Structure 1
Amino acid sequence: MKYQSTAKERISLSLTVYHGGFCMVKEVRRIGVQEEIDEICFTDIARGIEAGSVLAKGFNMLEQRSSQDLLNKSNLLEKYIGQEVAIRKHDTGEERKIRLLSIGDGLIGELQDTKEVVIDPKGELVVPPLPESFFDGPALVWKTAPGKMEDHIKVSYLAEGIEWQMNYIAEIKGTELQLMGWLEIRNDAGIDFIGAALKLMAGKVYRQPRTGDFSPELGVHESSVSRPSIEGYDFRDRHTYRIGQPVTLLNGQTTQIAFLEAHIDSFRTIYEVDKWSNRATIKMEFDNKKTNGLGVSLASGKVKLYSLDTDKELEFIGEDAIGSVTEGEAVSIRIGEAFNIRCNSYEKKRWMQEGVEYITYCYDLANGKEENVRIHIHHSMDEPIWTMESSSHDYEIRNAGNIMFIVRTAAKKEVPVEFTYRVDKR
């Protein structure tokens, strides 16, 4: 017999969502009949299913085919081209039989009695019952081997059309920082995931390009917010977040889940310049440590930063994207450019002496703020091999081609930084 498995027979549903717009769906469904089954129609699945990813347990599969039919006027009528359908008049209810010839540019049919061809006949089109092979959504159809089947089946597959990201909101409160994190999941998979056990996997998973033409239909998204418990753990060199209670992800909606709320004890503001800067770039940094009120793995995401103005009104002051940050690392957020910290850099002098080239470079820093600041100069050398001859300030070699100065600059003061290095051309 043929058996149709729907979401009504679902025992459990699990969902793992990856970066890259896809997920892994894992279902357990009961088999509600005792008769021998030779074909299973597995319906109520995601529109972007990858048929080549299906794993099915609980029966012996001989053959699989997938159907992406969606119930709409066009693909429904295509099933009846060449077949007899009826045109029913609205006023009298009278029906006239035609053989459907084409639906491409309007409806074309052949009258059964006179063999005349009619174009866009007036009335209501009535078609025979839907073919057994036609489903009102995506489906998997399995031919099964004779024999005993278990009372439940386990099916998993990959599907496109669902994505997650991390959003952070940081609020500066004096010398402290309040950080909130939200997991955001967008479902465009063409199906509702009701009461799913949800995992979100951070990090890049390599995949081969798909050759199919699946493209999720994007629409206006509604949003919902929840606050379950979340457990983070490492799995196969990636960090995974397990949501502590079932989650419902409705198709066409964006769901936000509160992930993090931390009071960070200290942060630092850094001003950075390089040889192309006119004004300093503002960065805010804090240590991802338990001793600093945090100490958890943070997935890559966007950070929005807010601070109180002098009139005690909360204002937006910047936004940046951060990469994944493990416990113990520093989080660095680029806010924007400082209005009153300027930089002018230039090559002051270059000369040759006995096959050795000497280069003198200068940075003129100006702090227009009412407070002292530390300015980090990141200078990149144009030559791969060099030796420092003299410098007005201490510096740190970051790598072969980059050095960094940390310059303490008093309020309303200017500080010149000058250094000379040599390159052996012999």
Structure 2
Amino acid sequence: MRYQSTNEQNEKLSVTIYNDHFGLVKEERQIHSNVPCEEVQYLDVAKKIETDSIMISGVHVLELNYDFDLVSKAKLLEKYLDETIYIYDKKTKEKLPLRLLSVNDGIIGERIDSKEIIINPEGELVLPSLPAGLIAKPALLWKVPKASLNQKIKVSYLTKGISWDANYVLNLKDKEFEFTGWVAINNQSGTMYENAELKLIAGEVNRIKEITPLYDNNRIYNDEMVVYSSEPSFEEKSFADQHMYTLNRPVTIKDEQEKQINFLNITGGKYRRIYEVDRYSDKPEIKIEIDNNKENNLEIPLPKGIVKVYQADSDDLLEFIGEDEIPHTAKKQPLTLTLGKAFDIVCESKETNRYEEENLEFVEYHYYFNNQKEETVTIKVDHSIHDRGWEMVEASHDYEKTTSNNVLFNVEVKPDEVAAVSFKYVIDRTIYIKNRN
């Protein structure tokens, strides 16, 4: 006898979703049958289940099959080739029996009574029964030792087709910001997760290879989006060199659904607006810098995601001013967002002189800025030096040597002011020749 287990028997369901479009499903079900059973049909599993990931406890499984030959019009008709089907006429209430000959290019049948061939008959197709082997939804089929059942079973498996991403909204005010974070969950795995415990893993988990789904239904995307606009409801903690976010309430995730859940609300933080140039810039890039510390109401790990940035205009209406993507960001690691190019700041850079003295080569470089804005701006000059064995000789402003090939200047430029940064460095050609040899 075959016993059927459905998700209505779930006593506990939890879903852990990873960044790389897969999830771990864990279920606990109570199964009960007074009649001895030798097969258990475990229903309501994901269509994109990875069958080599299944773990079962609570019952001794001798053999496991994944049945995914689902009912469809094409498959039903293919099963009835050379069999009798019926065409139902709604007007006459009569059924015309046909022997099904082909379904490749429309329906071709042979009348049972006259042996005439009929192509694409009009009327409703009626099939006597569901052919063996076809099922309405995918299922795991276990062969078990024949016995009555009355136990709790635990089943877990990985599935493709479910993913999560973080997205953020940053509202810039005069000196402070409001920062909101959302978790966007996209479920295309082929099943619904009802009243599930939800965990999200932020980080890169190694997968050996891309697994081709055993069954890939034609996915129908809809525009349904469920949005929760509540206070943050995730608990964050470190886990196995990743970060885990656990929702503090059960959640239902429908198949073919995108759901957004709020996980971050920060107000009163401070930010810096700077402008950055390098030797190839004609316009400075607009940058927003945010310290990820307690003094700024943060000091939290942030999952990677896109940050959309808004600012109020003179009519006090919010306008979109740019977006950027942040990587997985550890707590205390600052955030830097690039929003676009500055319109009212003109910059120019050029090498103004290069000359040699014995084995030394001297290079002079200048950056020029014209600030046409109505406020003072800070411009960060990130200059790269490709020559080996160089040393700074003189500079008009303080600088920081950030790498062996880069120096960084921070320059304040007042409104309607033209400012310049100049510096000279020397290259020891003897070091360069030794390195080449």
- What's the TM-score bracket when you normalise by the shorter of the two chains? over 0.9
Report deviation, 1:183.
1.2
* Percent pairwise identity: 40
Moved more, 109-118 or 20-29: 109-118
- Tell me, in whole angstroms, the C-alpha distance in 1 between the residues paired with 2:218 and 2:94: 42
Q: Deviations over 1:341-398 (max 9, x none)?
A: 2210112222333233322221112222222222110111122432222222221111
- Tell me, in whole angstroms, the C-alpha distance in 1 between the residues paired with 2:359 and 2:147: 88
Matched, 1:421 2:421: no
Counterpart of 1:370?
374
What amino acid does structure 2 have at the position aligned with 1:320? Answer: D
- Tell me, in whole angstroms, the C-alpha distance in 1 between the residues paired with 2:14 and 2:406: 48
User: 8 Å contact 2:368–2:421 — kept in the other structure?
Assistant: yes
Relative to structure 1, the CA distance from residue 215 to residue 269 in structure 2 (aligned partners, 3 Å threshold; closer, same or farther) is farther
Match of 1:151, SS state, is strand
- Tell me, in whole angstroms, the C-alpha distance in 1 between the residues paired with 2:34 and 2:132: 22
> TM-score by structure 1 length?
0.93
- Tell me, in whole angstroms, the C-alpha distance in 2 between the residues paired with 1:101 and 1:40: 37
Relative to structure 1, the CA distance from residue 111 to residue 385 in structure 2 (aligned partners, 3 Å threshold; closer, same or farther) is farther
Counterpart of 1:58?
58
- Tell me, in whole angstroms, the C-alpha distance in 1 between the residues paired with 2:122 and 2:178: 67
Counterpart of 1:400?
404
Report deviation, 1:424.
2.7
* Aligned pairs for 1:331-346 within 5 A: 331-346=335-350
Counterpart of 1:329?
333
Relative to structure 1, the CA distance from residue 218 to residue 276 in structure 2 (aligned partners, 3 Å threshold; closer, same or farther) is farther
- Tell me, in whole angstroms, the C-alpha distance in 1 between the residues paired with 2:152 and 2:135: 22
> TM-score by structure 2 length?
0.91
What amino acid does structure 1 have at the position aligned with 2:311? Answer: S
Matched, 1:75 2:79: no
- Tell me, in whole angstroms, the C-alpha distance in 1 between the residues paired with 2:165 and 2:12: 25
Relative to structure 1, the CA distance from residue 110 to residue 278 in structure 2 (aligned partners, 3 Å threshold; closer, same or farther) is same
User: 8 Å contact 1:58–1:150 — kept in the other structure?
Assistant: no
Q: Deviations over 1:324-355 (max 9, x none)?
A: 22221211121221111221011222233323
Matched, 1:129 2:133: no
Report deviation, 1:221.
2.0
- Tell me, in whole angstroms, the C-alpha distance in 1 between the residues paired with 2:212 and 2:252: 30
- Tell me, in whole angstroms, the C-alpha distance in 2 between the residues paired with 1:359 and 1:57: 72
- Tell me, in whole angstroms, the C-alpha distance in 2 between the residues paired with 1:72 and 1:103: 13
User: 8 Å contact 2:283–2:341 — kept in the other structure?
Assistant: yes
The number of equivalent residue pairs is 426
Report deviation, 1:265.
3.3
Structure 1's consecutive aligned runs of 4 or more residues displaced over 6 angstroms after TM superposition are none
* Aligned pairs for 1:65-104 within 5 A: 65-104=65-104
- Tell me, in whole angstroms, the C-alpha distance in 2 between the residues paired with 1:270 and 1:146: 73
Counterpart of 1:210?
211
- Tell me, in whole angstroms, the C-alpha distance in 1 between the residues paired with 2:23 and 2:8: 22
- Tell me, in whole angstroms, the C-alpha distance in 1 between the residues paired with 2:66 and 2:348: 65
Relative to structure 1, the CA distance from residue 391 to residue 42 in structure 2 (aligned partners, 3 Å threshold; closer, same or farther) is same
What amino acid does structure 1 have at the position aligned with 2:75? Answer: N
Please, which of 286, 292, 295 is the counterpart of residue 296 of structure 2?
292
What RMSD, in angstroms, separates the aligned Cα atoms of the two structures? 2.1
User: 8 Å contact 2:33–2:150 — kept in the other structure?
Assistant: no
User: 8 Å contact 1:48–1:216 — kept in the other structure?
Assistant: no
Report deviation, 1:72.
2.1
Moved more, 296-305 or 88-97: 88-97
Q: Deviations over 1:231-251 (max 9, x none)?
A: 011111111110000111122
Report deviation, 1:116.
4.8
Structure 1 unpaired stretches of 5+: none
What amino acid does structure 1 have at the position aligned with 2:223? Answer: H
User: 8 Å contact 1:68–1:139 — kept in the other structure?
Assistant: yes
What amino acid does structure 1 have at the position aligned with 2:225? Answer: S
- Tell me, in whole angstroms, the C-alpha distance in 2 between the residues paired with 1:119 and 1:131: 23
Matched, 1:242 2:246: yes
- Tell me, in whole angstroms, the C-alpha distance in 2 between the residues paired with 1:89 and 1:148: 48
Match of 1:296, SS state, is coil
